[in-house]
Structure formats: C-alpha cells, structure tokens
Structure 1
Amino acid sequence: MKTVFITGASGTMGSEALIQIAHTGKFRCRILLRPKKTNIRLAKKLQKNELIEVLFGNIRNYDDCLTAVKGADYVLHCAAIIPPAADHDPDETLATNYLGTKNLLKAVVSNGQIEKTKFIYVGTVAEYGNRTFKHPWGRVGDPLMPSVFDIYAASKVKAEREVIESSLCWVSLRQSGILYDDVLFNNMHDGLMFHTCWNAPIEWATAKTSGLLLKNLVEKDSDGTLNAGFWKKVYNIGNGKTARVTGFETLDRGFKMMGRGANEIFNPEWNVTRNFHCMWFSDSHILNDYLDFQHEGFEDFFARLEKKLRYFKLGKPFPHLIKYFAIMPLLRTNNAPVFWITHNLTKRVNAFFGSIEAYRALARSWDHFPLMCKNQNPETGAFWDYEKMKDESLLVQNGFLLNHGYDETKKNEELGIEDIKEAAAFRGGKCISKTMTRGDMYSPLQWQCHNGHCFEASPYLVLKTGHWCPECCNCPPWNFGELAKHIPFYAQLWYDDHGAGETESYSAQDGRDILAYEKRARHNLSKLPKNDFLEVC
C-alpha cells in the first residue's frame, strides 16, 4: 500500500484531498499539523481512521520535513499561508510558502527518495497577477506578474521555481479561486472581499472538485493509468466553461442566497479597479483530460450551498441591515480600500486605483458603473459583447491570447537554440548558451536579462511557465512598470491598465504600511470620526 503525505490537511484543498484519498482505502495517508488546539482536536478525529497517520510539526522546520516525507510515495504539497492572513504577516508567509517548500524538496533528496517520491505542488492563479477585459483569457506560459503587495503570490512564484528546477519527478498545479461551503463566513472579518475587481474574469474551482482532482491523480498514477507525459509540467486548475464569471457575478450570486443582489449591498467605489488576479483559463481542459474532475460549475456550487443555508433567505427583507451591519464595518478594517483612502496610504491607492484622482472619478451609482457581464465596456460604457468575449472558439480572432515569444506551433521535440534565443529576446535578454540538444526542455541553459543578471534555467522554465530572471523579476520589489519598458513579454499585459508613465516601484517595506495600524490598534476598528468615514463611503 502506497503512502501519501499531505501538507495543509487542515486547509480547504488539503482537507478535501485527505477525505477523498482516505475514503478509497487504497493508501496510507500521512499529514503534518502545527501543534495548536484546533489541530489537536482534528487529529483525534482523523486518527479514528487507521489509514491516517498524524504528525505534529511545521514545514518551516527541516527536521519535521525529513520525518514527514520518509517513505512517502507522493507528497501533496497543499500547505500555504493565503490571504487575508498573508497580507497581515508577510514574514511568516514567505517563510512558510517558500522556505517550507524548499525544506520539503531537500528532505526528499536527503532521504534518498528521488526515484521513489513524486512531488505534487499546488501553485496559484495569483502568480499571474491582474487581468482586464482586454486580456481576460490566460494559459500556462503567460508572464508571472504578481499584483503589488501580494506577498502570497510572490512567495508561490519563488517556491514554484524551486519545484520546477528540482531533480524530482514533479508537477505544479496552479489553483484558481476555490469556492467552499464556508467561503462567505470566512470572509466577513477582513476587507479582502473589496480587493475583487467588479470586472475581473474568474474561472472558479471548488473544494470538492479539487479534492477529486488530487484523488484521481494519485489513484491513476498508482494503478498505471496516468500517462507518463503528465509529469514535469505546469497546469492550470479551473472548472471550465460553467465556472467562468466575473467579480460582480460572484458577489452578486453569493448575496442572492439572501434574496438580494450585490448592487443592493455594495457601493461600486468600495472595490478596487485593478491589481487583483484571476482569469479565464484557455487551457484548463488539459488537466481535466488527464484527471476528469470538472463536475461542479459555478451555479452548481451555489445551488447546493443555497439548499444547505436555507436560513439565509431570512435576510431578504433587510438589505440595509446587511449592508450597514455586515459589510460596512469591514470598510474600516486596514485591508479595505476605503481605509487606505481615509488614511492617505498613497502607495496602496496608486497600486489598486491608479491615483487618488482616479478613485474620486469612480461612479458612485451602479447606473453609471459599467459592468462587462452586462455587455458594457468597462472603460467607456459602450456596448461590449460579453458572450462573444467568453467564446473559446474566438480567442485568436479576439486577440486575447498573449505572445510567448517563440513559435508555439512547434512541438517540444522540435524546439532548438534559435527558438530559445527568440524567446529570450522577447523577454528583453538573451540566451548565452551557444547550443542545446533539440527538444531537450529540462537541461539548464545560461541566460542574461536586460539588466545584465546572468542565471541558469531550463528551457521549460522560461518558455513554458512564465518565469524569467530570478533577480529583477522576483517580487518584492514590485516594479513591473519599469520592467515593461524593457521586456515586451510583460509590456503586452502591463499596459492594459497602466500608463506608460507608471513606473513606480513598491518595496517589501511599502507593503508593511497596514501593519503599523495593527500594531497600534491591535486589530481594533479605526478611530476615524464617523462623519469623515461616511463621507468617503
């Protein structure tokens, strides 16, 4: 019986994977939990299943990792500190998400398990950064441009690079946003929901389908029915056509469980206009072809949740109470855009709105705020064919697919040094290596970026995954405005929602601006006078 070691088993995706894999009765499941009260209670419950082994420790501790991966046939690395917690503790986030991943990789090697253990890394759509109606569709190989201050995304980019360039048999799965049963309850204590752009294209995944994906992966691989070509690749996780909506549609559907729409609960200017993440995946079908998991769409999920939370309908007669007592208090938390405005956090305002002037110019009425899901061009308000925009057969015609800098009609085995040089030039640099074995995508080559940094990377990493220079293209700092001037690969996306003059750089220290308020107020609400607050709202 094979052993599956799962990190993040107390989280959304990891817990669902554990449940579904353990339920097969075909695997020994080992998990690593941090020693805290909630996890101790969880361990007692899980250990009633004799096939589940619980260890206590932390992936930040290398010795814990050595013990946890010993003898494992699969490592399912789901653990990560995610927003909003990541926004409030950048040091812990980087240490856990990046250094924790390095510890696990090193532990597999140190245990002499390179040939035995397969490493399954869960990445994130946040690695790509913001998308607008100009390029709502994305795919693996698109540039990785984490949104400003998104230390979670930055840490995942760093960690993924380590996985891809490791000596292990690996796969990286870039997970989209996950819908799960407690999604509404868990987002009612922080201003994170206001980071979702109303016109952001989102292809959702769900907890159940994500668990099914991982269950099918280990099950198919262990019984020999998973194609060997699956490994050493990066894939996007999304639930396909029926899961593609916008930010507005998402919040609107959630509050319709209470019998009300987003336009009755929110003001349009409360949410940011850029610097988010998510997209519609033009390639999410590839992973589904391997693992057959896309069995719950957007409406399927909410219809199921609606039946579970029937009492939500009791809020229908009281939209103003929901707005004033459930939503508006969140505007005064330090992770909310209104807080940044009222406290003159200029860096955040610039990053998420463009400028204070751009924020003040936003429509305060839904009648004048254009939504692309309602066939309106988000910039002009003119007619915009939303259904045509979502038509996968028109992706090339609509100009939605980004250029990756080389002839993508070629198969991997056909790619040679000239293709490599072409891709490097599109990234503003060059390939220093003079030769390569045609079709060899994993032997490292020597590269140089426009800033003169020399680095080693495999052709697969550069051409197929969106990674580039590990020094100047490694957040923080977030300085894509300056990089876009030299890197056409970035420019084709950056200028969708940034002007040519926007070259402001954002440092790690800039991202600590909200932490000063937490230290002073210890998570209390702002002491801003009520009249000033309501005037901004």
Structure 2
Amino acid sequence: MKKTILITGASGSMGSEVLKQIAETGKYNIRIILREKKANRRLAASLQKKYRENLKIIFGDISIFSDCERAVESADYIIHCAAMIPPVIDHNPDEGYKSNFLGTLNLINAVKKLPYKNKVKFIHIGTVAQYGNRTFKHPWIRTGDPLLVSAFDFYGATKIMAEREVIESGLNYWVSLRQSGVLYDDIMLKNMDDGLMFHTGWNTPIEWATARTSGLMLKKLIEKDEDGTLPEDFWKRVYNIGNGKEARVTGYETLDRGFKLMGRSVKDVFKPHWNAARNFHCGWFYDSHILNDYLDFQYEGFEDFFKKLDKKFWYFKLGKPFPRLIRKFAIEPLLKTSNAPLYWIKHNFEGRIRAFFGSKESFDKIPQTWEDYNLLCENKNPETGENLDYSELKEESKASSFLLNHGYDESKKESELDISDVREAARFRGGDCLSTEMKEGDLYTPLEWKCAFGHKFRASPFLVLKTGHWCPECACPPWNFDEQAQKSPFYAQVWYDDHSHDESSFYDKDCFRDILHRS
C-alpha cells in the first residue's frame, strides 16, 4: 500500500518544491492543507489537475486544532514546512504566532490522538534564524550552539517555541531540520516591496540552500526510510540544512550576485550605510555535512544557482545601462518603508537603532562610500580594515578553532553521558541541574533545571546539551540577552562578538509591533 504524506506549507517556496519532487515519484498518497483564499483555490485546481488521484487537498488552517485532526488522519509522514516568514510576519505577528507556534503544537497534539501515533514520522522545518547573528569572529555554527535569536525577530522566536514542542513531544519519530536561507527562482522578484533586504549585514557569513536541493533532501528522506536504508538513529535529532562549501558566502556577495543578474554590482545601486550593522542571522554550518551524509542532496552551490538564473532571466541585463534608475525607482522607495533601517533612523526608533547599530553614534560612523567600507570578502577585517584572509577563514579544516564551547565533554559517547555532564552544562549556562539522578545515556527523560534568574523548568538532557535550548522563560520575547550574557558563559562567548560589555538593552515582549501601521 502507498504511504500517506501530509505536507504543510505547500504554497511556499520550499513546500511547493517538496510537493513537486515527492508527487512526481507517483509512489505516495499526498495530502496538503491550504488556507481558504482565492489564490489557494486557483493553486488547488492546478495541483489537482497535475497530480490527480495521488493528491488530496484539504482547506483548513493549522492554527485550528480540528483542521489539524482532519489533516493528519491516516498520515504516515508529516512534513511540516508551513511557517509565516519575514517580511509577512513582521507586519502580521499575531497571525504568525498562530501559524508558526500554535500550528506546530496543534499538529503534534493531533498526531498524539492517532491510534498508531508511535509509528507516525514528524519532520519539522526549523530555521537558521534561531541562532541569531554571527560575525567573522565565530562564523561557524553547530546544532548545539546557543539560540540567541535577534532582537525584534519575532519569526525566529516563534520557531524556537515551536521546535521546543517538537523535541519534547514524546513522539517516537521526529526530526527538526534547521533550514538556512533558501534560494529560489523568484527570490529577486518577491523581495522588492519591503525593507527586509536592508537587514542583511554586508559581512554576515551565510550558507545557502536552494529550494530544489531542499525538495530533493526531503524526497530522499522518505524514500530511504521506506526502503530501510535510513538508520534508526537518524530520528529524534536536530540537523542543520545547508548546501555546504560551495554555498558559503557573505551578505555582500549575496546581494552583489543578485544585481549581477542585471549586469551591475551592488556598489552601483546600494550605499553601505543603508544596511544593518548587526542583529541579523545566518552563518556557515560546520555540521551541514551530517545531514548530507544521510541524504546526499548538496548538488547545487551558490554560483550554480545564479548561473541558472542568468539564463532564465536573461532580460534582466537590459537594465545594465540604467543603475541610477534602478536605484531611484526600485531600491530607494524601499528605504522609506517601516521595515528599513534608514526609516528607523529618520523616525528615531530608539530600540531598533540600538539593536541593529548599537547607537545612533555608531550608525553615523558607518562609511557612506564603498571605498571606505571594510568588506570581509575583499580580505579586510571588518573592524580594523587590516588584511584578513577570507578564503582561509572559510577553510573547513581550520574551522574547529572557531567553534563554540557547549559546556561539557563532547568527546564522550552519548551512551556515556551522565548526571555529571548535565550539571557541568547547566553551570556553563549560569544555572543548575536540580535533579540528583540520571540514567547514563538517557537523553530523553526530562530532568529538573534552574536558570541563572531562578526560573525552574523541566527539559530533556538532549534539549539542553544537543540543541542550544535553555530556559523557556528567558527565551525571547522579551529580549534580555545583555543581562543573560553577564551570567552565562554559554551566551557570552558569542554575544560579545558584536555587543559591548556595558550594553544593557532590554526589548519588551511587544517591541516588534513598533513598525505596525507605519507607512
């Protein structure tokens, strides 16, 4: 009998590619859930015509539990891609919370009501945004690194909440895949109506994935699990999704390559002080090879992707003679939107100015010409301008010197970890493990913990040691990492890469609403 796969988020860039690649095999009964709206009705008609009896479409909303019950009925696999992402969630945070957190919780609880719940396989898509900002000082990320989601990033916050529910769900089969930024064919066209692109730091390290390779990865996951070649120990884990060495660049290189589709450089169109100086997210995944070792999907690098776009959008080159017009009519209007850093400067959004620049004075010091700006990809230390070998920084063989400390002896086998290891990890986070006993190697039975601020909570050793999660009350919102870093060496080791020790900012639980209803 064909297995049944529920795919959420099938109208999105990643979910649609997952649907396409799995449906084209003809091996599975596929079910998707779409919200009721005209665009989705048109999409449903198109998909039903294309995939016919292999596809069942449910109209509903994952933020409604009864709709989730209908969706998961008879499902063997759930591929949960659905999420409201920036910039949409930036302007609709309440709907984003319902979709990203409540939707995930509802799906988990709906699965738990199934009579065969112990056989259902739940595949959750997380995000690199959970890690927060990285710089050239610690560009390499691993799954156990601290989750320091950037201030005002409500999307990242909801994804941390959702992932915690997945990891602690008690389901027999779950996996959380933290997706890096996704390159998809319409990426340029779909990001030209909001100031979100100005959040990208010029020197931010970024490891990209593509929609095509992500679809392939999930198709292979299902196929390998079905044919018995996916090991049992693949499940109940967290992995980073990225396309590896050939997909590692910086924010500057990303935007520059996009404008090369038009035959121009980003320097022809942007000014350096238009973009945020910090408080973005992304990094290079030190461990993205682990998921690839299981599923073998990293075939499309950064340049491979854009070479395909060069051919597909050949007519973009017609804009080459008109860089000033591109700047005036395509880019500068976005600087006036409420999600753009220059808008915050002009209208004195004090919280965002502190978060993204440090201070107004720091913003004023940013060079306004490229000749004076230090670009990492041009072998300059971003802070001093001195020579820094960018290619050497990207060498995987030398990356271990940049890795963060997780607070316990990671050389030990998981089967050997015990109460002494979790106590050591808790102390490194500024807190304590209150439990007095732990069965050696048992990473999934919850223990009692206390954070540096006295909050008591239950969590599995796996959640704390292997995923970067810690106290749920201290997790944002609100954002209080300046104070937390003073008490937690786990946080301090990366937080002070781009924050000073005398900063004491606090961003309240509703801080991200400041741009709502602003033109």
TM-score range, shorter chain: over 0.9
Per-residue deviation, 1:115? 1.5
Partner of 2:283: 279
Does 2:152 match 1:125?
no
Question: Counterparts of 1:311 and 1:96 in 2: how far apart (Å)?
Answer: 37
Measured on the aligned residues, the alpha-carbon RMSD in Å equals 0.7
Residue deviations 1:40-83 (CA, integer Å, cap 9, x gap) = 01111111221010000000010000010011000000000000
Q: Which of 157, 161, 168 pairs up with 1:158?
A: 161
Question: Counterparts of 1:164 and 1:503 in 2: how far apart (Å)?
Answer: 32
Question: Counterparts of 1:101 and 1:435 in 2: how far apart (Å)?
Answer: 32
Per-residue deviation, 1:112? 2.4
1:194-343 equivalences under 5 Å are 194-343=198-347
Per-residue deviation, 1:116? 2.1
Per-residue deviation, 1:510? 2.0
Per-residue deviation, 1:435? 1.2
Question: Counterparts of 1:509 and 1:434 in 2: how far apart (Å)?
Answer: 38
Secondary structure in structure 2 of the residue aligned to 1:55? strand
Per-residue deviation, 1:113? 3.1
Does 2:8 match 1:20?
no
Per-residue deviation, 1:509? 2.4
Partner of 1:486: 487
Question: Counterparts of 1:510 and 1:125 in 2: how far apart (Å)?
Answer: 21
Partner of 2:452: 450
Secondary structure in structure 2 of the residue aligned to 1:47? helix
Q: Which amino acid in the other structure matches residue 373 of structure 2?
A: F
Residue deviations 1:4-53 (CA, integer Å, cap 9, x gap) = 00000000111000000001111010000001001001111111221010
Question: Counterparts of 2:510 and 2:286 in 1: how far apart (Å)?
Answer: 36
Residue deviations 1:329-364 (CA, integer Å, cap 9, x gap) = 100001001100111111111100000000001001
Q: Could you list the runs of 4 or more consecutive aligned residues of structure 1 that deviate by over 6 angstroms after TM superposition?
A: none
Partner of 1:439: 441
Residue deviations 1:356-415 (CA, integer Å, cap 9, x gap) = 00000100110010001000000010000101100111123xx31000000111110111
Partner of 1:344: 348
| Consecutive unaligned residues in structure 2, runs of 5 or more | none
Check the 8 A contact 1:448/1:454 in 2, yes or no: yes
Check the 8 A contact 2:209/2:247 in 1, yes or no: yes
Check the 8 A contact 1:114/1:167 in 2, yes or no: no
1:350-369 equivalences under 5 Å are 350-369=354-373
Partner of 1:10: 11
Secondary structure in structure 2 of the residue aligned to 1:274? coil
Check the 8 A contact 1:272/1:337 in 2, yes or no: yes
Does 2:44 match 1:43?
yes
Check the 8 A contact 2:478/2:510 in 1, yes or no: no
Q: Which of 368, 376, 379 pairs up with 2:380?
A: 376
Question: Counterparts of 1:417 and 1:300 in 2: how far apart (Å)?
Answer: 47
Check the 8 A contact 1:191/1:331 in 2, yes or no: yes
Secondary structure in structure 1 of the residue aligned to 2:402? coil
Does 2:117 match 1:102?
no
Question: Counterparts of 1:341 and 1:234 in 2: how far apart (Å)?
Answer: 38
Q: Which amino acid in the other structure matches residue 19 of structure 2?
A: L
Q: Which amino acid in the other structure matches residue 214 of structure 2?
A: S
1:374-523 equivalences under 5 Å are 374-396=378-400, 399-472=401-474, 474-517=475-518, 521=519
Per-residue deviation, 1:96? 1.1
Question: Counterparts of 2:90 and 2:62 in 1: how far apart (Å)?
Answer: 20
Relative to the length of structure 1, the TM-score reads 0.95
Check the 8 A contact 1:98/1:156 in 2, yes or no: yes
Secondary structure in structure 2 of the residue aligned to 1:172? strand
Question: Counterparts of 1:509 and 1:415 in 2: how far apart (Å)?
Answer: 39
Per-residue deviation, 1:508? 2.5
Q: Which amino acid in the other structure matches residue 148 of structure 2?
A: M
Question: Counterparts of 1:360 and 1:273 in 2: how far apart (Å)?
Answer: 11
Per-residue deviation, 1:315? 0.7
1:87-98 equivalences under 5 Å are 87-98=90-101
Partner of 2:63: 60
Residue identity over aligned pairs, in percent, reads 63
Residue deviations 1:466-495 (CA, integer Å, cap 9, x gap) = 0000112x1100110010011110000110
Question: Counterparts of 1:363 and 1:312 in 2: how far apart (Å)?
Answer: 30
Question: Counterparts of 2:162 and 2:265 in 1: how far apart (Å)?
Answer: 39
1:118-197 equivalences under 5 Å are 118-168=121-171, 169-197=173-201
Further displaced range: 507-516 or 230-239? 507-516
Secondary structure in structure 2 of the residue aligned to 1:115? helix
Q: Which amino acid in the other structure matches residue 144 of structure 1?
A: L
Question: Counterparts of 1:268 and 1:149 in 2: how far apart (Å)?
Answer: 22
Question: Counterparts of 1:247 and 1:26 in 2: how far apart (Å)?
Answer: 40
Question: Counterparts of 1:252 and 1:420 in 2: how far apart (Å)?
Answer: 45
Matched length = 515
Residue deviations 1:260-302 (CA, integer Å, cap 9, x gap) = 0011110000000100000000000000000110010000000
Question: Counterparts of 2:19 and 2:516 in 1: how far apart (Å)?
Answer: 34
Question: Counterparts of 1:352 and 1:112 in 2: how far apart (Å)?
Answer: 49
